[in-house]
Amino acid sequence: MIILDRPALAPLTTLRLGGRALAEIRLESTEDCLRLSEALKGIGGDVRVLGGGSNLLIHDGDLPFTVLRPLFGAADAEPVILGEEKGPDGECVVIRAGAGMRVPHLLSWCVRHDLAGFEGLVGVPGRLGGAVAMNAGAYGCSTAPLMRALEVFTPEKGLHRLGPEGWNAAYRHFSLAEPCAWHMSAFVELALKKAAPGSVRAAMKENLLRKKSGQPVHEHTAGCVFKNPEGHSAGRLLDEAGMKGKRRGAMLFSPMHANFLVHDMKCGVPGTATDALALIDEARRAVFDRTGITLELEVKEWSSCPC
């Protein structure tokens, strides 16, 4: 376990925003989990769990929480194959991977093993634990339906294993069924479908081309700011409300896709969460005034209030 004092959070996020936390705790082994409660007691404050920081909007200034970084399976670890099972539409291979594994690394492993399920997540940055927490997905795929079990740490129960009855998942939503102050996913078991040789690679290639043609994947963003309201595209609603390209300081809604908030690092002024939040407010009001629809945030906001 490594503990860092007052870490800067902006470099740990793809949007490059955020102030300093009380501390950062890096966890690399299950033994680290045994020492976690004591370490947190010594620091005090609230707790936040950080994956790849690709879905976060963190406030500026001094922040009253400790950031946990579960790095199980990070570096170059490979998923472990646990066995095979018969799924409703074919043979599946069940694997176990650390929550710290980078999603692109997991996806290249799936390509090499011709295992299907994650093709929609191509181009999605972040780590497996973040994909679980967001039930991340695109192009008809999402993370939760692939999950068979989760090894999770809660302050109430420590590290324990849950089956599918242990969580609730919906569109960009994931929570544990048991009440807990917070949770940190450590390892994930996934059932991936055996696919024809080359077909996973081909599907990912097609999805990546589609993604690159419509989203500012090379800019500093946190993906989609708002969830799509039932029956609508948030991007289209924002575009129709005139938000495409709208700017405050270094923060703007992408001229390519109105639902992507971009941090323009080359514009000469530093970007701030204050500007980002003001733009988000303006966008919400503009869409509501035009359509009566209240947009809900997809990005997770880490604020300085203890909540």
Ligand X SMILES: Cc1cc2nc3c(=O)[nH]c(=O)nc-3n(C[C@H](O)[C@H](O)[C@H](O)COP(=O)(O)OP(=O)(O)OC[C@H]3O[C@@H](n4cnc5c(N)ncnc54)[C@H](O)[C@@H]3O)c2cc1C
Q: CB under 6 A: which stretch of 118-126, 162-170, 234-242, 265-273 binds ligand X?
A: 118-126
Q: Give, rounded to a whole angstrom, the gap between the first and last alpha carbons of the chain.
A: 26
Q: CB under 6 A: which stretch of 16-24, 39-47, 128-136, 234-242 binds ligand X?
A: 128-136
d(CA 235, CA 183): 31
Closer CB to ligand X, residue 58 or residue 116? 58
Sole binder of ligand X in the list 7, 9, 27, 55 (CB under 6 A): 55
Helices (H), 116-250: 128-134, 199-214, 234-240
Enumerate the β-bridge partners of residue 167: 176
Sole binder of ligand X in the list 133, 191, 238, 250 (CB under 6 A): 133
Closer CB to ligand X, residue 14 or residue 272? 14
Report the site for ligand X in 151-170 (rule: CB under 6 A).
none
d(CA 227, CA 29): 34
Q: Give whole-number Cα distances, 140 to 52, 164, 203, in Å.
A: 23, 20, 12
d(CA 183, CA 179): 10
Q: Identify the DSSP state of 207.
A: H
For residues 77-91, one letter each, b for 16 or more C-beta atoms within 10 angstroms of the residue's C-beta and e for the rest, the string is eebeeeeeeeeeeee
d(CA 288, CA 282): 10
Q: Smallest distance from the beta carbon of 102 to ligand X, in angstroms?
A: 8
Closer CB to ligand X, residue 80 or residue 290? 80
Closer CB to ligand X, residue 27 or residue 111? 27
Q: Which residue has the tokens 């200034």?
A: 61
Which residues belong to the active site?
172, 224, 298
Q: Which residue has the tokens 């191509």?
A: 122
Does 33 participate in binding ligand X (rule CB under 6 A)?
no
Report the site for ligand X in 134-153 (rule: CB under 6 A).
134, 136-138
- What are the two backbone dihedrals, phi and then psi, of residue 73, each rounded to the nearest 5 degrees? 75, 10
Q: Smallest distance from the beta carbon of 84 to ligand X, in angstroms?
A: 27
Site string (181-220) toward ligand X, x via CB under 6 A = --xxx-------------------------------x---
Site string (66-105) toward ligand X, x via CB under 6 A = ----x----------------------------x------
d(CA 301, CA 279): 14
Closer CB to ligand X, residue 221 or residue 272? 221
Q: CB under 6 A: which stretch of 28-36, 78-86, 130-138, 250-258 binds ligand X?
A: 130-138
Q: Smallest distance from the beta carbon of 197 to ligand X, in angstroms?
A: 26
d(CA 67, CA 56): 13
Q: Smallest distance from the beta carbon of 71 to ligand X, in angstroms?
A: 10
- Residues in contact with 33: Cβ distance below 8 Å, sequence separation at least 6, in sequence order: 27, 153, 158, 159, 186
- List residues near ligand X by CB under 6 A: 14, 48-56, 70, 99, 124-127, 129-131, 133-134, 136-138, 183-185, 217, 221-223, 300
